[in-house]
Structure 1
Amino acid sequence: MLVVDLLLVHRTPHEISIKEAGIESAVWIGIGLLFTLVMWLWQGGQASGEYLAGYLIEKSLSVDNVFVWAVIFNYFAVPRKYQFRVLFWGIFGALVLRAIFIFAGVALLERFDWILYVFGAFLLFTAWRIYRHDEAEVHPEDNPVLKLVQKVIPSTPQLDGQRLFTRINGRLLATPLFAVLVLVETTDVVFAVDSIPAILAVSREEFIVFSSNAFAILGLRALYFLLAGMQGRFRYLNAGLGVILAFVGVKMLLVEVYHMPTWLSLSVIAVVLTVTIWASLRAEKRDEELSSAAPGDSSTRVTPGDDHMEDSE
């Protein structure tokens, strides 16, 4: 699907519009949700429920990726028409790295059951950091991996279209797009540390965990072009993600006491996401109404001939 998307849909670099991003995002989400039906027909209701729960967890936790990408692209002043190609390779690399993490995580859980409690405690710690607003700010220039790569690989500050490497005076040099790709990959690894343990609390089947991860992040490129610059509209997103991580962490820690059915986990995650989005949009609408009703606004300004103005005088 990635190859078809790159070679047929996005053969030439162009600035992706909000409309195009919205359509592509809807298509990717539709494909991801449709795979729930495939899982149900293939492996039954339990497997399809685990897939859908994992998909929702990964999709919600990956939204933060979108806003981090926006910071990275802005820092390197990458034109929007070149951003898609970087994200294509970023998603491709993320799929490979997540496959490694998932199979390693499942292998650890099968060999050492106590690892589940470590994952649970880590998710609770992450949820606490979100509650305390302790998440580290993104500073691309301080990324240790990027610093190492820039020392090892000769680079140029000049862009050469959408190429990751270019030749100048016979020397092969990395362009700023390669530095952006390195940052995209390293930040995805950081986010995967949270999301993969959370999904392993839902299922230990490698295929279910990987497929839910894959379908969730495949649509992130379109979601980026749709949501970049709109972080303020989802003010309660982090709070909702913190609740989900805390819920999954507690579920991991209590696995020997109570085995929570998949439908209940799925319901909790869906309710939290729905309430988070609804509360964010409602708060945004309320702020817009208050702003439009602020003193000095033309819609609320009273003309000298108004009766109530005369009465007040």
Structure 2
Amino acid sequence: METLALPAWFEIGSFVVLLLILAADLILAYKRPHIPSTRESALWVGFYVLLALIFAGLMLVIGDAEHAGQFIAGWVTEYSLSIDNLFVFVIIMARFSVPRKYQQEVLMVGIILALIFRGIFIILGAVVIEQFSFVFYIFGAFLLYTAANQAFTNHDDEAETENKLIAFLRRRIAITDVYDGGKLRTVIDGKKVFTPIIVVFIALGTTDLVFALDSIPAIFGITQSPFIVFTANVFALMGLRQLYFLLGDLIDKLVYLKYGIAFILAFIGVKLVLHAMHENELPFINNGQHIEWAPEIDTWTSLGVILASMAIATIASLVKLRVDARRAPAPVQATAADEPTPGDGSTSATAVTDATASSTSPDKSTTPE
């Protein structure tokens, strides 16, 4: 896995264009706070996916198939981890009862924080990898641990980890329980106080920090090019806001998705360990010699495993959702036997409603002109 280099003009131009797109998306979210329709969300998500595929095509033309393959594999991996982010975002939004109209703004801030954290970790990761090859052992072991944690930890438990921090904040600063649009601060009885938005931002930020710790080692297991790592992260986060509204309640029902993501993390963890063994320089392992028999997993194999894992997990979740819907008891419906029989002393609900309406509404024939 050698670091690949692309023309400087392409890298700089890509950064400029991506920053402009993100800035436009941020401005749009703040200028037009609204609840996007399913059609609008689908169009935006499709646009960003198409944009990523066009970018991969450019890398194929300007670079080569290895560049394009590494970008797609990295993008799909980061996209799957970003979707996992949404599970916790949904819990945070529900727990703090964020008005749906302002959830776009809140999500955009969460995405910007995620980009900042991931950018920092990308720079640190690139520097560490350049200096110490043994770090791949650490990354691999960390991803294997994360995979096990992902498979057996409930997202509700993850969201609860912020409770102590939030309680600490409420003891130290004045926070009202009432939202004032999307404002961070408002005035109550002549005093400036923070709104619950500040707590939501902190909760999203800590969540982003945790996910950045998982995602950066994962993508460095696919490519060591900081440019590909960063652009894959940016494309994975673009459209995440619209995907949140597109999936809606369905995201909670994709029950097997976390197992697919856990398998991807475990696979990349194994790949990193094998790469570390192949490049081994640690004196207490094989006398500091490279372990030649350790196989290197190529980019296209990685891409196939990642796509298959996500597809199987998603399809299995949808099948389970359909089976559960079929097994659910049918709603009880009124039948002809339930209708009152004339003369049996009972009165239908419709008759009672009509009678009540007649007794409570003014009679036009007796109302004075």
Query: The TM-score by the shorter chain falls in which range?
Result: 0.7 to 0.9
Q: SS state of the match for residue 173, structure 1?
A: strand
Q: SS state of the match for residue 157, structure 2?
A: coil
- Partners of 1:69 and 1:296 in 2: CA distance: 32
- Partners of 1:231 and 1:147 in 2: CA distance: 28
1:296-307 counterparts in 2 under 5 A? none
Range with greater deviation from structure 2 (121-130 or 169-178): 169-178
Q: What is the number of equivalent residue pairs in this alignment?
A: 296
1:117-136 counterparts in 2 under 5 A? 117-133=137-153
| 1:192 to partner: Cα distance | 1.4
Deviations 1:238-292 (A, max 9, x none): 111111111000000111122221111111111111111122222222333334x
| 1:83 to partner: Cα distance | 0.7
1:35-46 counterparts in 2 under 5 A? 35-46=55-66
- Partners of 2:319 and 2:97 in 1: CA distance: 33
| 1:189 to partner: Cα distance | 0.9
Q: SS state of the match for residue 158, structure 1?
A: coil
TM-score by length of 2: 0.74
Q: SS state of the match for residue 186, structure 2?
A: strand
- Partners of 1:254 and 1:209 in 2: CA distance: 20
Match of residue 326 from structure 2: 289
- Partners of 2:331 and 2:106 in 1: CA distance: 46
Q: Please tell me whether residue 53 in structure 1 is matched to residue 73 in structure 2.
A: yes
- Gaps spanning 5+ residues in structure 1: where? 299-313
1:171-250 counterparts in 2 under 5 A? 171-250=191-270
Match of residue 88 from structure 2: 68
- Partners of 2:36 and 2:90 in 1: CA distance: 14
Match of residue 275 from structure 1: 312
Please identify the structure whose Cα radius of gyration is greater: 2
Answer whether contact 1:140 1:183 (CA < 8 A) is retained: no
The residue type equivalent to 1:227 in the other structure is L
What fraction of aligned residue pairs are identical, expressed as a percent?
A: 38
Match of residue 34 from structure 1: 54
Deviations 1:159-194 (A, max 9, x none): 111112234455443211121111111101111111
**Shift in alpha-carbon separation, 1:31–1:144, aligned structure 2, 3 A:** farther
**Shift in alpha-carbon separation, 1:81–1:232, aligned structure 2, 3 A:** closer
**Shift in alpha-carbon separation, 1:105–1:141, aligned structure 2, 3 A:** closer
| 1:148 to partner: Cα distance | 4.8
Answer whether contact 2:126 2:224 (CA < 8 A) is retained: yes
| 1:65 to partner: Cα distance | 1.2
Range with greater deviation from structure 2 (17-26 or 179-188): 17-26
TM-score by length of 1: 0.86
- Partners of 1:132 and 1:276 in 2: CA distance: 15
The residue type equivalent to 2:217 in the other structure is P
Deviations 1:59-107 (A, max 9, x none): 1111121121111111111110011111112211211111001110111
Match of residue 6 from structure 1: 26
Match of residue 306 from structure 1: none
- Partners of 1:129 and 1:297 in 2: CA distance: 42
- 2:299 corresponds, among 252, 262, 268, to 262
- Partners of 1:38 and 1:76 in 2: CA distance: 43
- Partners of 2:212 and 2:314 in 1: CA distance: 23
Range with greater deviation from structure 2 (226-235 or 142-151): 142-151
- 1:107 corresponds, among 127, 139, 149, to 127
Answer whether contact 1:16 1:80 (CA < 8 A) is retained: no
| 1:295 to partner: Cα distance | 8.0
**Shift in alpha-carbon separation, 1:146–1:296, aligned structure 2, 3 A:** closer
| 1:48 to partner: Cα distance | 1.3
**Shift in alpha-carbon separation, 1:107–1:152, aligned structure 2, 3 A:** farther
RMSD: 2.3
The residue type equivalent to 1:264 in the other structure is T
- 1:137 corresponds, among 130, 134, 157, to 157
Match of residue 184 from structure 2: 164
- Gaps spanning 5+ residues in structure 2: where? 1-20, 279-293, 334-369
- Partners of 1:148 and 1:108 in 2: CA distance: 34
**Shift in alpha-carbon separation, 1:260–1:75, aligned structure 2, 3 A:** same
Match of residue 13 from structure 2: none
- Partners of 2:86 and 2:241 in 1: CA distance: 8
Answer whether contact 1:95 1:214 (CA < 8 A) is retained: yes
**Shift in alpha-carbon separation, 1:266–1:222, aligned structure 2, 3 A:** same
- Partners of 2:179 and 2:154 in 1: CA distance: 35
Relative contact order: is structure 1 or structure 2 higher (C-alpha 8 Å, sep ≥ 6)? 1
**Shift in alpha-carbon separation, 1:158–1:276, aligned structure 2, 3 A:** same
Answer whether contact 1:2 1:88 (CA < 8 A) is retained: no
Answer whether contact 1:50 1:262 (CA < 8 A) is retained: yes
**Shift in alpha-carbon separation, 1:206–1:148, aligned structure 2, 3 A:** farther
- Partners of 2:68 and 2:38 in 1: CA distance: 32
